[in-house]
Structure 1
Amino acid sequence: MISISVPVLNEADNLDALYARLDQLSMRMADRCEMEFVFTDNHSDDRTWEMLSVFAQRDPRVRAIRFSKNVGFQRSILANYMHTRGDAVLQIDADLQDPPELLEQFFDLWRSGYHVVYGIRTKRQEGALMNALRKVGYWVIDKIAEHPIPRDAGDFRLVDRKIIDSVQKFRSTSPYLRGLIAELGFKQIGVAYERSARTAGSSKFNLGQVIRLGLSGVFNHSVVPLRIATYAGVTLLAVSVLGALYYMILRLFHPDLPRGLASIHILVLFGIGFQSLLLGILGEYLRRIYLLLRAEPTAIAEQALNIDDDELKL
């Protein structure tokens, strides 16, 4: 069985086309596998849940959970993973920018022994600023992460059941799943494709959310920022000592030098700003520890379709 995992938020305009393509794909692959379609609704305020209810009534393969509030994209994916039953899971967005038909190629690679098959976006239908920001973000995360994370790869991927079971063992209130899955190891391979433009609805992933996701990737999978803070502090301390010695020697040879009031102000302001930056870095890690200790659930289910109460794992 292959589980198709689809997180949704106000995607009523795309659901009919998505379901039709998934249904056609399941018929084309009927001789190779069974399928189920698992949706997690991030508390949509359009007709998304009503449409999923209609799908679930006429098709038992459709299973869905509606959250009591919007818990974010990554946690929605994680909650979806927790309720899949397939031997492998295909993660796909509802906007059809990633072609579900690529599952056939993913499926063959999975059957040949790969545990993770992910899509590599060779082209994106986005603005120049967003594309540049994503490239810089992928580069930074890849360079400082303790384990290599594929560049230009999003959440469009097929993962083996072993990966799903392993991911659920990690506790994180701000998961960065593409980094976590890359960190697990196993046999992984990428498949290049061109990402299509969204045909209906509007993107729910704005610039602020992209930045927050990037920060999660940095702070969840690297301690480099903490080390930078330590190294920078030691460096500044050494520079301060050298500067003090320099001015003491200069004062011996030039006792009439004017007092540097402006330079003192600049140094004080620089020190305050730099310390604030270091405190901010420490705060990001402390915040994650605090949220982890709270042990809050991944999400809270408000309603479920074709999923019994005893199956809910949130």
Structure 2
Amino acid sequence: MSANQKKRGENMLSVIIPAYNEEKMIQTTADTVDRILSEASVPYEIVFVNDGSKDGTWQQIETAAKKNPHVNGLHFSRNFGKESAIFAGLANAEGDCCAVMDCDLQHPPEVLVSMYRLWEQGYEVVEGVKRSRGKESTIHRACAGLFYKMMSKAVKIDMSRASDFKLLDRKAVDALLEMPEKNAFFRALSSWIGYRSTSVEFDVQERTEGESKWSTWSLIKYAVTNVVAFSTAPMQFVTVAGIFTFLFAIVLGIESLVRYFTGHAVEGFTTVILLILIVGSLIMMSLGIIGYYISKIYEEVKGRPKYLISKKAGKRK
């Protein structure tokens, strides 16, 4: 029996924690998770994934790994994004189940115990759903609301209270890791795979250190990237726009003919300019959407890895 099989026999929980410029939170997060899981007698490991941070995040992970044998770390060669960090953590986790949470402790670690107990009852996917979003500015809340509405309609999964805070059985983890696509949307894919699932509500906590990495612009980019990665909904816009333009052309054509034969032909420089602007805008938008999909296909065809790990810390270094 291998070392990994022995560990999995202990029903070990792997806690995956992506980190980007979180040097002030690494030790606090490691200590908090350690205390909560130890008190609950949950066998565990922590896998920090440093996503190309520009501060001392990696040094803090190495220090935490030296202090606590349960802590391991992965260091990306550059910034590959949160989705890649999640999948790297899952691929390098040794637990029988894996939980993903944020490094800033906005995902309350106490909920990990509830998730783990539900997993022991036989649930294979335990979703963390937001009871409240914590304190946010009005603009940020509005942008986040728009983002989740757009995502829900595009991926046909209710994303209004969804989060990356969830626990997956090893079977579900392996199913995710077998998916070959580079642009993977973890939050939606973990629901798409099915399996026996349940949910746990939690209140988003306030950050004790640092600032949120999610600006309005980053939310927009995140939404566009993941909608394209998980859904063909934007492509349907091209079809709908084409049908709308065709119907508009028929109506305008009939009107023009009627006016012509009744001796009241449409006078036309302004009309022509408006038509050119409308049709031209729709064509350019459609080409932009198609071009974006082609660029993502190009990225997939190249077959480059989701991430590159340059260093490791902890007992498995």
TM-score (norm 1): 0.92
- 1:132 equivalent to 2:142? Answer yes
Structure-2 change in CA distance of 1:307 and 1:239 (3 Å): farther
Residue in structure 2 matching 1:215, options 217, 224, 248? 224
The structural deviation recorded for 1:114 is: 1.7
The residue identity in structure 2 corresponding to 1:51 is Q
Cα deviation 1:84-110 (Å, max 9, x = unaligned): 111111111110111111111111221
- 1:295 equivalent to 2:306? Answer no
Partner of 1:170: 179
Residue in structure 1 matching 2:39, options 15, 18, 28? 28
The structural deviation recorded for 1:194 is: 1.3
CA distance in 1 between partners of 2:149 and 2:123 (Å): 25
The residue identity in structure 2 corresponding to 1:300 is L
CA distance in 2 between partners of 1:95 and 1:19 (Å): 11
SS in 1 for 2:93: coil
In structure 1, runs of 5+ residues without a counterpart are 310-314
Greater shift, 116-125 or 178-187, is seen at 116-125
The residue identity in structure 2 corresponding to 1:185 is G
Corresponding residue pairs, total: 305
Partner of 1:103: 112
Greater shift, 116-125 or 2-11, is seen at 116-125
CA contact (8 A) 1:121 1:153 kept: yes
CA contact (8 A) 2:73 2:314 kept: yes
Partner of 2:273: 265
CA distance in 1 between partners of 2:276 and 2:315 (Å): 60
- 1:141 equivalent to 2:151? Answer yes
Structure-2 change in CA distance of 1:4 and 1:258 (3 Å): closer
Partner of 1:49: 58
- 1:62 equivalent to 2:71? Answer yes
The structural deviation recorded for 1:12 is: 1.2
CA distance in 1 between partners of 2:185 and 2:266 (Å): 55
Partner of 2:24: 13
CA contact (8 A) 1:90 1:103 kept: yes
Partner of 1:312: none
CA contact (8 A) 2:69 2:315 kept: no
Partner of 1:238: 247
CA contact (8 A) 1:36 1:61 kept: yes
The residue identity in structure 1 corresponding to 2:110 is E
The structural deviation recorded for 1:307 is: 6.2
Partner of 2:46: 37
- 1:3 equivalent to 2:14? Answer yes
SS in 2 for 1:65: strand
In structure 2, runs of 5+ residues without a counterpart are 1-11
- 1:83 equivalent to 2:92? Answer yes
CA contact (8 A) 2:143 2:216 kept: no
- 1:180 equivalent to 2:189? Answer yes
Greater shift, 260-269 or 190-199, is seen at 190-199
CA distance in 1 between partners of 2:27 and 2:314 (Å): 19
The structural deviation recorded for 1:40 is: 0.7
CA contact (8 A) 2:260 2:266 kept: no
CA distance in 2 between partners of 1:235 and 1:224 (Å): 17
Runs of 4+ residues over 6 Å off in structure 1: none
- 1:189 equivalent to 2:198? Answer yes
CA contact (8 A) 2:151 2:159 kept: no
Partner of 1:283: 291
CA contact (8 A) 1:135 1:152 kept: no
TM-score (norm 2): 0.91
Cα RMSD after superposing both structures: 1.6
CA distance in 2 between partners of 1:222 and 1:100 (Å): 32
Structure-2 change in CA distance of 1:28 and 1:89 (3 Å): same
| Aligned-pair identity (%) | 26
The structural deviation recorded for 1:308 is: 5.0
